[in-house]
Chain A
Amino acid sequence: MEAKNMICIVCPLGCKLKVTKNDASPTGYDVEGNTCFRGAEYGIKEMTNPTRALTTTVTIYGAAMKRLPVRTSGTIPKHLLKQAMEVINKVEVKAPIQTGQVIIKNILNTGVDIIASRNIYQDSFSLGINLLVINNLKEVEYAYWRWGSCF
C-alpha cells in the first residue's frame, strides 16, 4: 500500500499525518493524524500535486530600497519553483509600486500572478513632483514614512 508520513504545514501546529492510498475512499486517500479538515486536504494534495507559495524580490529602481519584495498570488506546483525564480529574476521595476500590484501576470501559465508585497515610493526628487498632484494629506504622510529622512 502506498503510504507516506509527513508533517502538516498548513498552520503552526505541525500535525503528523499519515496518508495512505485507498481507492475505496471518495478522495482516493486516507489521512490520519490531522486535527482539522485543512490538514486532510493538505495531505492529499502533497500526494497528488504539492504546491507552494513563493516569496522573493525583484530589482527596483528609483527607490531607497534596492529590492521590491514580491509573492505569488496563490500557490504554484512545487516543481516549478526554480523555473519561476528564473522568470522573476529577469524582471526589473520602477518606483512607485503599490502593495498587490501585479508584477508578472500568469507566471508559467499557472494562472497565478506575481504581486508586490509592499508599497515603495519614488526617491525624493520624483516625490517632489508627486506631491503636487497628491491632495490628500494622509497620502503625503503615508509617503513620509516610506521616505522618512529624505524630506
Chain B
Amino acid sequence: MHYDIVVIGGGPAGLAAAIEARKNGAKNILVIERDRELGGILQQCIHNGFGLHTFKEELTGPEYAERFIKELITMGIEYKLDTMVIEISGNKAITAMNSTEGILHIQAKAIILAMGCRERTRGAVRIPGTRPAGVLTAGTAQRFVNIEGYMIGKRVVILGSGDIGLIMARRLTLEGADVLAVAELMPYSGGLTRNIVQCVEDFDIPLYLSHTVVSIEGNDRVKAVTIAQVDKNLKPIKGTEKRFECDTLLLSVGLIPENELTKSAGIELDNVTGGPIVNEAMETSVEGIFACGNVVHVHDLVDWVTEESKRAGRSAAKYIAGKTERNCKTIKVKGINGVRYVVPHQIRLDNVERTVELMMRVDNVYKDIKLVIKSGGEVIKEVKRSHAAPGEMENIKLDLSKFTPGDSDEIYIEVVKEEA
C-alpha cells in the first residue's frame, strides 16, 4: 500500500492535520485509528468548554470531534479503525495490523504522528500500600462512566488536581458518589482555573494543596486512603495524616506523550516535554515525519491542538509537493529562567511566512511578569502576564518578518519579574 500522507491517530490532532493537508492539495491521505471510532479522547470528554477559540462557542468533546469527523468524511479522506500501528521506520515504512486485514505494510511519502498521550499510573508515582481493586486513572474512570456506563465507586478520593481529576470530581458527585477529597502534591493546582471553580468549589469538595497519598489500605477492594501534607522537598510531614474511608482512589497525576513509535523511527526526543523535537513546520528530526498535538507536548486546550495540527498538515502537504526550503538558516529556541520548554524547538527562517507561534510553559506560579524573547542579548519581544502557571500554556505569536538573526543562532525566552 502506498499513500502520500499517513496520519497515525484519529483524535483531534490527527483529524485536523489530515483535513488541513487535504485543503493544501495533498490527495492520497490515510488516517489510522486504533479505537472503534474517530475522535479520540474527546468522545469521553462529555463536559463543555471545547472550541472557545476555534469556533467561538462552548462545545462538548463529542460535538467538537464531530465537526472534524464530518469534514474529514465529506472530503473523502480514507481512514482505518480498530487498526494498530506497531512500527514505523525512518524511511517512512509503516507496519500496522487489524483483525480483518491482518498485517499491513504501508509506505508513506510523509507521516504525521498524532498518537496523543497516556496517563501516568500508580506505578509511575510510586504510592505505597496494598494493591487492591479500585485504584484507577481518572481518564479510565471517565471512559467507564461516560461511555461504557459503569459507576466506578461510591466514596472516592482523588490524587492530583489536573483537569481530568477535577472534571471527574464533579462528574462522580453528579452521579451520586461522595468525593471526599482532592489532594494535590504541589502548592498550586495543575488544572485550569475554571475547572477548580466549577468542579470543586461549586460542590464544596475539599482541595488539599501540598498533600499526597501515603497509604492505600484494603485487600480485595480499597478500604481507606491516607493523605499527608508535604514539605518543601515534597516529602510527607509526620503527624499531618488524614485517613479517608473510601472504596476508590482516582489518579490524575499527569500525562506522558506516547512516543514508542517515534522512538522506533529513530526520532530525537526532548527530555522535558517527552515528545519529539520539532521545527516551525512541526517536522521531527527525521525528514518527512511530522508530529502534532499531545504527542509533542501535553496541551490543556484542544483548540491549541487543532491550531498546531493544522500547521503540521499544511507542512506535510508542502513537503510532498517539494516546496519546503531545507537548506537555510536554522535558529534554536530555548526556554530559560522560569520557562520550562518552548515548542517549536527550532525555526528555519526561510520557511516562516510572517509569524511563528511559540507555545511554552512556565515552571511555577508567577504574578506580574514579562515573558521576554531575546536573541544575542537583544530583546525582540516582551509580553506582559499578570498571572502565569504551569497548568496554563502560554502562546506567543512572534513576527519574524523583520528579524535578522545577526551572529546569534539562538532565541531565548525567559520570565522577568516586573517592577511594581
Contacts and interface: CB of A to CB of B under 8 A. Distances in A.
Contact of B66 (A14, A59, A78, A118): A118
What 9 pairs between A and B have smallest CB-CB spacing?
Answer: A14-B193, A66-B149, A9-B194, A118-B62, A69-B46, A148-B81, A117-B60, A67-B149, A148-B36
A99 B66 contact: yes
24 contacts: A6-B197, A7-B196, A9-B198, A12-B52, A14-B192, A14-B193, A14-B387, A16-B387, A55-B60, A57-B46, A67-B145, A67-B148, A69-B60, A99-B63, A117-B46, A117-B62, A117-B63, A145-B37, A145-B79, A146-B37, A148-B37, A148-B82, A149-B82, A149-B100
A52 B202 contact: yes
B81 A145 contact: yes
Contacts, number: 101
Contacts of B180: none
Given A9-B194, A117-B63, A141-B73, 17 more contacts: A6-B197, A9-B197, A11-B194, A12-B52, A12-B194, A53-B48, A66-B148, A67-B145, A67-B148, A71-B48, A99-B63, A99-B66, A117-B46, A145-B38, A145-B69, A146-B37, A148-B37
Given A66-B147, A118-B43, A146-B37, A12 B301 contact: yes
Contacts of B401: none
B66 A67 contact: no
Contacts of A145: 37-38, 69, 73, 79, 81
Interface residues of B, number: 42
Contacts of B392: 12, 14
A54 B70 CA distance: 25
A7 B193 contact: yes
A57 B146 contact: yes
Interface in A126-150: 138, 141-142, 145-146, 148-149
A91 interface: no
A118 B50 CA distance: 14
Contacts of A119: 66
Nearest to B393: A12
A55 B42 CA distance: 14
A7 B197 contact: yes
A54 B170 CA distance: 10
Interface string B220-257: 00000000000000000000000000000000000000
B404 interface: no
A87 to B, nearest CB: 12
